[in-house]
Amino acid sequence: MTTTTPLRRAGVAAGAALALGATVLAGAVPAAAATLGDHEISGVQFVNDDCSRNEYAIQAAITGTTDDVGGFDRVRFEVWDDGTLKDSRILEVQVGTTRDINAFLSFVGLYGTGAPGVGIIIRDVDADGDPVGTLETVDPFFPDDVDGPCTFDVERIGGPTRIETAAMLSEQKFVMADTVVIATSRTYPDALAAAPWAAQLGAPLLLTTPTGLSAATAAELTRLMPDDVVVVGGPTAVHEQVIGDVQALLPGAVVERVAGDDRYGTSGAIAQRVVQDSSAELFVASGQDFPDALVLSALAARHQAPLVLVRHTEVPAETASAVAALSFDDVYAAGGPTVLSDEVLDDVSLGMPWTRYSGPDRYDTAEVVLGQFPAEGKVMVATGQDFPDSLTAVPVAARTGAGVALTRPEAVPAGVLGEVERLVTGFSFPLVTIVGGELAVHDTVQTQLQGLVDGLADPAARPTGVLTDRNIGQE
């Protein structure tokens, strides 16, 4: 152990032919390359007086064929504009399996005036991320232009209640979603375990009162019109009335409940649905208190790993059964020995090495966990005094590459602030997203974060396009 079916509409390309009017630049695909099946690209360009932002969601069925690392095939999704690679993300599919994966790409600014639209490319890559084949190329692809919120320094997404904040976060950060996950707003365990799975599904995590579907959640479901809705937790946590409300609202959707006999059984049931990547990790959190587990959920989501719940000194039978069915080489937990004993971590790890992330208090622990995130220019900040905002931020953080930081209501602790600075320093357009209303995260925090961003040195150079005839250039 250590301790420390195809769719066409504006802004959407689908199927093998993708968008109308798009130039498909198909590269040679090696015989051993991953196979691309049904796929769909949607894109939005938010435009307002302050700035603009491009966001692209790619859903694709990928069959893994080549063992790049640990029995997994790697695929990279890219968005280009005028010869500049704007964003990319590598995802993995186990060799010999077909998996529906979701990739999210974004960049600040309008797409350039040289080549029309943007370029989207899906590549087969090797263990080092170097291209070995092209699975699909679309150039140009045109996003929808919409009026919408946009910033590239510090933004706040928050409503008067936790349920409305979750709906607002979904509305502003999910261009589309075929799946939505719903959990109770009253307690944290189900949402904690569900957040990494929701991230993998490309799904927002919405909240509801136990006795009936909340109005804000119903409105967001109506906007998204998902094909699948997953309700996590048993009928005590989320009553059958909620499922009936969802079915009445979305008569064509498949509504499924995923639950166990208690919070440990529910977390175990969810853990077995998470599709692990080559890192083969397991994350462990307390089922008895939330603070140390909040940011750990975000780290589990980033690593595409399951998260299970245990008691302070006991591995519940439901958790033990779920863990026995999982494959993992490393275990990570959050919280000191007063939260999770060494013995319980030994038991849940089944002989595999485990790492504990902890500090003197919840914010010190949050700082340690946040330090595990690589700097990608984005971070989400939520209160450490309660659970809903930070957990509903996890699927957004995972899709954008952001870490999740916890703050006191009136000020960001110094250590956490230092990690926020590390995550956004040196990026052309850093983005710090405060999740929650002013009662949860006071204006003083926004002022503090704005001062940090304003004090960052400007990057030596911002990317500029060099091609005018097409978007996708040569790396």
Are residues 91 and 55 both part of a single domain? Answer: yes
Q: Which comes out higher in pLDDT, residue 174 or 365?
A: 365
Domain boundary among 126, 147, 168: 147
293 is a domain residue? yes
* Radius of gyration of the chain, Cα coordinates, nearest whole angstrom: 22
- Contact assessment for residue 226 and residue 184, using Cβ atoms and an 8 Å cutoff: no
Are residues 212 and 333 both part of a single domain? Answer: yes
294 is a domain residue? yes
461 is a domain residue? no
468 is a domain residue? no
pTM above 0.85, yes or no: yes
Q: Which comes out higher in pLDDT, residue 108 or 288?
A: 288
Task: Give per-residue pLDDT as tens, 26-82.
Answer: 455 565 689 999 999 999 888 776 677 888 999 999 999 999 999 999 999 999 999
Are residues 286 and 333 both part of a single domain? Answer: yes
User: Pairing mode, if any, of strands 330-334 and 354-357?
Assistant: parallel
Closest CA to 317 of 265, 258, 263, 259: 265
Q: What's the structural domain count of the chain?
A: 2
444 is a domain residue? no
Are residues 196 and 117 both part of a single domain? Answer: no
Q: What is the pLDDT of residue 30?
A: 61
Tell whether the model's pLDDT for residue 4 goes beyond 60.
no
47 is a domain residue? yes
471 is a domain residue? no
Task: Give per-residue pLDDT as tens, 307-357.
Answer: 999 999 999 999 999 999 999 999 999 999 999 999 999 999 999 999 999
Are residues 88 and 196 both part of a single domain? Answer: no
Domain boundary among 108, 123, 147: 147
Q: Model confidence at 233, in pLDDT bands (50, 70, 90)? A: very high
Q: What is the pLDDT of residue 400?
A: 85
Task: Give per-residue pLDDT as tens, 345-360.
Answer: 999 999 999 999 999 9
* Count of other CB atoms within 10 angstroms of residue 460: 7
Amino acid at 223: R
Spatial CB neighbours of 410, under 8 Å, sequence gap ≥ 6: 442, 444, 445
Domain boundary among 102, 129, 147: 147
Identify the domain containing residue 76 by its residue range.
12-147
Q: How far apart are CA 156 and CA 340, in angstroms?
A: 34
DSSP one-letter string for 398-447: HHHT-EEEEE-SS---HHHHHHHHHHHTT-SS-EEEEES-TTTS-HHHHH
**CATH code for the domain of 94:** 2.60.40.10
